[in-house]
Structure 1
Amino acid sequence: NDYVTFGYGQASAQEKSQYPSQYNAVTLSIGKKKGGDAMKISELILDKIETLKRDIIPNEVHVSETRNYGATASHKVSELLSHLIIAIISVSLVVMLAMGWRGGLVVFLSVPVTFALTLFSYYIMDYTLNRITLFALVFVTGIVVDDSIIIAENMHRHFKMRRLPFKQAALYAINEVGNPTILATFTVIAAVLPMAFVSGLMGPYMSPMPIGASIAMLISLFVALTITPYLGYIFLREKNGKNKKANDKGETLEQSKIFIFYKKTIEPLLDNKLYRYTFFGINIILLLATSSMFLTKSVAVKMLPFDNKNEFQVIIDMPEGTTLERTDMVTKEIAQYIKQSTFVKNYQTYVGTSSPITFNGLVRHYDLRRGSNISDIQVNLIDKGDRKEQSHYISTVFRPEIQKIGKAFNANIKVVEVPPGPPVLSTLVAEVYGPDYKEQIKIAEQLKQTFKSTKDVVDVDWMIEDDQKEYR
């Protein structure tokens, strides 16, 4: 579910002078039902809040929107749609360079038909339009046009050759490349579709992407074998006047600029052994050099890139038995440091209880955190459009000083970012099993020290409560 949260706070003049931006507050978290539109719901809620401000909510009560995943979803969807349009136009322009505006138009018209049928299949399967399903369309944009390009290009070639009447040339062109096109499409589907059977949390999160991509490719094959030939027959035929003009000039396919350039490029490789082996050698060297980047760690290997978010969390764990007042004091100390940054729009502190559940909390169960020794701070950054720095960079800048404050009070503090993909318990997790509990603790302690001494590993914690004195 997507959530919209609001903070309601009231402060006296004395409190405001002591803590200019801190108020005693209540957080209202609103979640949508399954199938609801988070974008529309968030807009309706915000409109309702504005109405309540005019009629019911007193002026001394401050209402601020602390989190709006509906707006985030709206921004992501708009961004993906713009990228989708750019991808379609880019592919069409590339086709136009090789086949002229007519060929580009054939491919351009086949893409909306393919995507429209794909979206209809989403509706049939009860998929919503979200970042994953839309990313599937962006992902396959370059693939779904392949079938139409192959059919259109071969028709274009046979029409240029003018050896058969247009209708017979079109049928011959389709038969010539039909079977390889079908085989190529099913080969790509066979490579992508297995991702839909991934188990665990990743499965339901990622399954719409391979399923949507496979459906789009099947539909693109159908469009390439039915609609594209019709469009090609309509648009790729040259009028008699143009044919006569071309015949008068004596122009043939072999005399075209693209053919001449291709011939000059490929013939030396076919005719000269030295050129051929040199070409193969350069390609092999480039392949090995590229592969070696992973071994030498010249490039970072990640499943998903960092996402530039407008929020992060600070999770604070004091030693067991710490009073609520002391936990609150440490939390305020950290909050006072955080508020000094120009990147911070606002923040909310939750002491002794959890903040409204976040994406991370689905797996880490932050919503179950209770006790006098725990707290967390929800930090909202200024909009990413108003800053150059990425949220990941900002959180890494905050971490050293926050850790320094926590160390002074013997607190375990974690700076938690919103993940770009499915949430996990932690980046690195070690689980210790065994029949002897004391040995488990001993080994876990060694592992914890190993993590702490490892370069680039931060925020080390374990799920063991501290020893406490028992009074009788």
Structure 2
Amino acid sequence: MGASGRIAKFFQDSQLTPLVALVAFLLGAFAVAVTPREEEPQINVTMANVFVPFPGASARDVEALIATPAEQVLAQMTGVEHVYSVSRPGMAVLTVQFKVGVPRIDALVRLYDTVNSNRDWVSPNLGIGEPIIKPKGIDDVPVVTLTLWTGDTERGAYELERVAHAAEVELKRVPGTREVQTLGGPGRSVRVLLDADRLAAHGVAALDVRNALQLANIAAPTGRLVRENREILVETGNYLESAADVKALMIGAFDGRPVFVADVAEVADGPDQPVRYVRFGIGAAGAREGLPAGTEHPAVTLQVTKKPGENAVDVADRVMQRVDELRGSVIPADVEATVTRNYGATANDKAQQLIKKLVFATLSVVLLVLVTLGWREALIVGIAVTLTLASTLFASWAWGFTLNRVSLFALIFSIGILVDDAIVVVENIHRRRSLEGKPLAEVIPLAVDEVGG
């Protein structure tokens, strides 16, 4: 008797077989409950952007002096699939994409080592800044995006951006979140609008105002005072925090009187010059949810990413729960927060649909065997397929895989192989028992050994 027959006989005679089957089923149920669910598989494709600042240089100079030499240097690394660059005034952006399967840590170590060991690709006297490396991966895709908009004509993108920044702090405290960013909005700035006539009247140049602003916006430790068993750290300087601080800044003296920024310029604290506009339009789908169809409103978007290995469904649910708690406080009542992407909800829905299809496929096969061979054979096939799938799901969880469309589709396709093997074995047992008339205890090992080798 071969190995297959001996294994079948061992489990047939062992009293631990029912316990092993029960444990396998429970482990599979546990894996279904705790395995992270995602819409797409965690394919390890490491990418990174390398930002190289070159202040004052034109796009053509950036391309000739930084981008082209850097592409040649970065292409020398092993495991690199693509290296391409974008040159713009004052900045070169190089994107490095590694081949599928290259470990993320190994890829980033190679990239940092290559950049730091080849800093001599340009002359240090050109004024090129320190390269900044920002890795990108599958976990940089947001699991939740919220679009903040309002129908109040008194509020614009600047006010919505302030609300979004306040909500960022609260959402970053949600367990499992990694980055929370605001897209859109002009940004805040304190603008100093110089008046040439007032500058001339006070004997002040524009360069004097610039130097005064730079010197005033500095804080640094200068020493310490020790007295009566106490130590006091002393700092000099302070950062400019508001338009009032800028207005009160003294930039020089004229005719024996101090000259302040307010004397030579208008200071405005508010939105910066916008470089992009974001609008939220409501169509027919929004009308079904009670929103005013056919309207557009200024908006900003909050995007939330998750930490590697976290369950996208759980993170998205916690974020949405926290957003509901912020309504009426951090998020004002007249500001709407519309969910424009919920990766957790879509991933959970698709995972549940595929799990239902998996169960349906298994029951269909059991029913087919019931009709053709009998209830006992159908029960054996059903138990064999169920325990095999349960063990596979537990092993998948233990190795760090997730439940996603690809893995569940693979399990559905594998049912054909599992059922084919189980039916072949059961049919052979049924055939030999009918021909030989021996008890099942004698027929099963021989029938399994005959088809299993």
Same fold (TM over 0.5): no
What TM-score results when the alignment is normalised by the length of structure 2?
0.37
Relative to total residues, which structure has the larger helix share, 1 or 2?
1
Larger radius of gyration: 2
Question: Which protein has greater RCO, CA pairs closer than 8 Å, 6+ apart?
Answer: 2
